[in-house]
Amino acid sequence: MRRHRVRAAFGGRILLALLLVCVAGGIAPTRGALAGDPDLAKFLLKGGKDDLGKKLYDQALTKFERSEREDPALLESVYYQALVRERKTDCRGAVQTYRRVSPPSPSSPRDAWTSSRRGRRSDASSTPRSSRS
């Protein structure tokens, strides 16, 4: 009986060592397990939209957040995160998330208006005006 215990203990140590080598990076992960998979991000986005339609807000938010981690350039997932937070009545969280999607606005509406007018003047000054008679 003692021999069986020794073999089992020795076999267990080998198995543990093999497992540590695999976890430490001896085996490369599959494509689906890598972060930054745009196909997975789109899949999660679609699943989140389905959950949002069913009013499963917590599940939808989880999928949208994971979609953003997989593909940060997919701003649609950030927009839907804000939408879910808004529907869950988390107004502060919704506003903060919406700000991550929208570009920074000028300091005042007047500044936006004057900057757009300046652009028009530079275009208009290069073309001659026709004179009315």
Q: How many residues does the chain have?
A: 133
pLDDT score of 28: 39
- The DSSP result for 8-50, as a single string, is HHHHHHHHHHHHHHIIIIISPPPGGGSS--HHHHHHHHHHHHH
Superfamily name with CATH number, domain 35-104 = Tetratricopeptide repeat domain (1.25.40.10)
**Residues with Cβ within 8 Å of residue 76, at least 6 apart in sequence:** 45
**22 vs 2, more confident:** 2
* pLDDT above 90 coverage of the chain, percent: 45
Q: State the DSSP H helix or E strand holding residue 4, giving kind and residue range, or none if neither.
A: helix 2-21
pLDDT score of 101: 85
Whether pLDDT at 49 is above 50: yes
**Each residue's pLDDT tens digit, 62-98:** 999 999 999 999 999 999 999 999 999 999 999 998 9
Residue 119 in tokens: 């652009």
Domain boundaries, the chain: 35-104
**Residues with Cβ within 8 Å of residue 81, at least 6 apart in sequence:** 61, 64, 65, 68, 97
pTM score? 0.53
Residue 41 in tokens: 């991000």
**Residues with Cβ within 8 Å of residue 112, at least 6 apart in sequence:** 105, 106
